């Protein structure tokens, strides 16, 4: 059973479009992290959200942590080909120590 469910699994859009990807769970997380992974490389941290309801912006990327700390979303405005990659969410449960990862959303942005 996957602790974190990400949707959609695949997304193909054109440059300039907006998109939102989701990360959902029935568990409460003390924090949630978003990573981006490019082919042949390891995941790289984008952001960490800690407080329920928190919103963080990273240039054209907006991350939101749900009020109950069970879910999160990532919104990208005016997507660019450089945004192409696998977006992974990862959560640390209150009693846990290591991060549990979702399967990711594979994003393709075409010119």
Partner 1 sequence: DAGVIQSPRHEVTEMGQEVTLRCKPISGHNSLFWYRQTMMRGLELLIYFNNNVPIDDSGMPEDRFSAKMPNASFSTLKIQPSEPRDSAVYFCASSLRDRRGNSPLHFGNGTRLTVT
Positions touching partner 1 (CB under 8 A) are 2, 30-31, 33, 35, 40-45, 48, 50, 88, 90, 92, 97-104
Q: Which is nearer to partner 1, 42 or 82 (CB)?
A: 42
Q: Which is nearer to partner 1, 12 or 18 (CB)?
A: 12
CA–CA distances in Å: residue 54 to residues 11, 35, 37, 38, 61 = 25, 17, 23, 27, 14
The torsion angle over the Cα atoms of residues 27, 12, 60 and 50, rounded to 10 degrees, is 10
Kind of pairing between the strands at 61-65 and 71-76:
antiparallel
CB of residue 77 to partner 1, shortest distance in Å: 24
Q: Which is nearer to partner 1, 84 or 106 (CB)?
A: 106
């Amino acid at each position: 059973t996957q602790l974190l469910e990400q949707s959609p699994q695949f997304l193909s859009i054109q440059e300039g479009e907006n998109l939102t990807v989701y990360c959902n769970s029935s568990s409460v997380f003390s924090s949630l992290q978003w990573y981006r992974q490019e082919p042949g490389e390891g995941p790289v941290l984008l952001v960490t959200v800690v407080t329920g309801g928190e919103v963080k912006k990273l240039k054209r990327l907006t991350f939101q942590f749900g009020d109950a700390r069970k879910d999160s979303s990532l919104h990208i405005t005016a997507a660019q080909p450089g945004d192409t990659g696998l977006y992974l969410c990862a959560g640390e449960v209150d009693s846990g120590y290591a991060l549990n990862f979702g399967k990711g959303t594979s994003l393709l942005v075409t010119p």
